[in-house]
């Protein structure tokens, strides 16, 4: 009787995939996606070098906008797709070998979450790997759904969140169309400089009987819903100006569609000087400002990450970016993996051509609209 050593079996199960078992098409797509993400991170997603409209010369704009239109978010979507695809392939192989993959998969998600946290705190201050890890848990729950349901569920996630946001925005339109006029003496109390971060201030000024916001990237108008409540037509959510115990306006609160609130405190800074610096920043000039040391950078990122964990909620998770963007693409990757599209590309050529044709058409239309 041949008795196998459980330790050797464990090592065999957890060993890297042999080269002959790898699907070269997927490796090529993964390398292509990573290269595209690198390009986008160095240009469009890099606030230090990416030109904004009107900030730099013609040739800078000539390079920037095609990258923004054709590449921005596209490669990240491919990488999301590969996550779901890779999960499906690993589960299929584990099933063929009669292995329990759940423990290994969950361990990998934990490691992915820690890597995402490390990147957010010590390297970039942002990133989505931690979100990938959390959404990845849902794939274990949805994996055994009938294969044909997966694309439908992905579509429902996108349409459902979009419809919800549209309904909420439509409910605000009657209030916007009331054309409420606020006395300019009240509007003047709202003008000033509001702190957003060590490098970013939100400035509120008055032009006639209108309030105008000046952000580093753009100018926006605030439309009155009441004497103290305003809404930005170009953004989601409501802005409410608040007073201290002495009756002086000392902050405003931004309430988004999900009910989450962000407070911007009013700071003592010369309004005209702050406005001048803001306009210079928008033109691409660099006014003198305090730069963060690496220690301050890490400290700020750590506080933000802890705040994100501290105030994390199921409501925000299921009604936000994770379900409207990451999960649908994960599900499409899961569908392609279970269908074994990349196991035998020649036999799936017709399917891939249809996906390419309709994906290109729909993608160009949506990108043009947004």
pLDDT tens digit string along 213-231? Answer: 988 777 888 988 889 999 8
- Examine the domain organization and report whether 133 and 195 are in the same domain: no
- Examine the domain organization and report whether 70 and 204 are in the same domain: no
Q: Provide mean pLDDT across the span 130-146.
A: 92
User: Could you tell me if 183 and 189 are in contact, meaning their C-beta atoms sit under 8 angstroms apart?
Assistant: no
- Examine the domain organization and report whether 217 and 351 are in the same domain: no
Residue 3, pLDDT score: 44
Range of the domain at 253: 184-290
Residue 364, pLDDT score: 81
Alpha carbon distance 267, 280 (integer Å):
20
Residue 68, pLDDT score: 81
- Examine the domain organization and report whether 209 and 154 are in the same domain: no
- Examine the domain organization and report whether 99 and 141 are in the same domain: yes
pLDDT tens digit string along 102-132? Answer: 888 999 999 999 999 999 999 888 888 999 9
For residue 57, tell me if it sits in a domain.
yes
For the record, the structure tokens of 29 come out as 């797509």
What band does 313 get if pLDDT is binned at 50, 70 and 90? confident
- Examine the domain organization and report whether 163 and 310 are in the same domain: yes
Q: Provide mean pLDDT across the span 246-259.
A: 83
> Is the model's pLDDT at 248 over the cut of 80?
yes
Phi, psi for residue 258 in degrees, rounded to 5: -90, 0
DSSP 8-state secondary structure symbol assigned to residue 19: G
* 349-to-29, 141, 185, 359 alpha-carbon distances in Å: 16, 30, 68, 15
- Examine the domain organization and report whether 29 and 94 are in the same domain: yes
Share of residues in the chain with pLDDT > 70 (%): 82
For residue 176, tell me if it sits in a domain.
no
DSSP for 113-125, written as a single string: HHHHHHIIIIISS
Residues 6+ apart with CB under 8 A from 30: 79, 82
């Amino acid at each position: 009787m041949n008795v196998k050593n459980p330790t050797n079996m464990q090592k065999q199960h957890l060993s890297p995939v042999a080269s002959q078992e790898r699907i070269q098409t997927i490796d090529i797509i993964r390398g292509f996606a990573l290269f595209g993400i690198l390009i986008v991170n160095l240009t469009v997603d890099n606030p230090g070098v990416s030109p904004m409209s009107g900030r730099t010369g013609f040739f800078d704009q000539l390079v920037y906008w095609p990258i923004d239109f054709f590449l921005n978010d596209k490669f990240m979507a491919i990488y999301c797709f590969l996550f779901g695809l890779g999960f499906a392939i690993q589960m299929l192989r584990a099933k063929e070998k009669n292995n329990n993959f759940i423990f290994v998969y969950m361990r990998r998600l934990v490691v992915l979450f820690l890597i995402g946290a490390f990147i957010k705190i010590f390297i970039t201050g942002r990133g989505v790997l931690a979100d990938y890890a959390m959404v990845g848990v849902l794939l274990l729950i949805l994996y055994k759904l009938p294969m044909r349901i997966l694309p439908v569920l992905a579509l429902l996630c996108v349409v459902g969140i979009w419809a919800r946001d549209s309904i909420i925005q439509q409910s605000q339109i009657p209030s916007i169309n009331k054309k409420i006029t606020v006395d300019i003496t009240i509007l003047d109390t709202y003008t000033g400089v509001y702190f957003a971060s060590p490098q970013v201030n939100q400035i509120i000024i008055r032009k006639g009987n209108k309030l105008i916001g000046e952000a580093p990237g753009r100018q926006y108008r605030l439309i009155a819903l009441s004497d103290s409540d305003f809404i930005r037509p170009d953004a989601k959510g409501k802005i409410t100006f608040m007073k201290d115990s002495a009756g002086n306006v000392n902050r405003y609160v931004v309430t988004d569609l999900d009910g989450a609130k962000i407070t911007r405190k009013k700071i003592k800074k010369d309004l005209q000087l702050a406005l001048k610096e803001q306009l210079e920043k928008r033109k691409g000039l660099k006014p003198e400002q305090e730069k963060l040391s690496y220690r301050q950078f890490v400290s700020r990122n750590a506080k933000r990450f802890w705040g994100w964990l501290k105030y994390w909620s199921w409501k925000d998770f299921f009604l936000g970016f994770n379900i409207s963007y990451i999960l649908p693409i994960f599900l499409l990757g899961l569908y392609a993996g279970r269908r074994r599209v990349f196991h035998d590309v020649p036999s799936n050529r017709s399917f891939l051509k249809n996906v390419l044709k309709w994906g290109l058409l729909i993608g160009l239309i949506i990108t043009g609209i947004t």
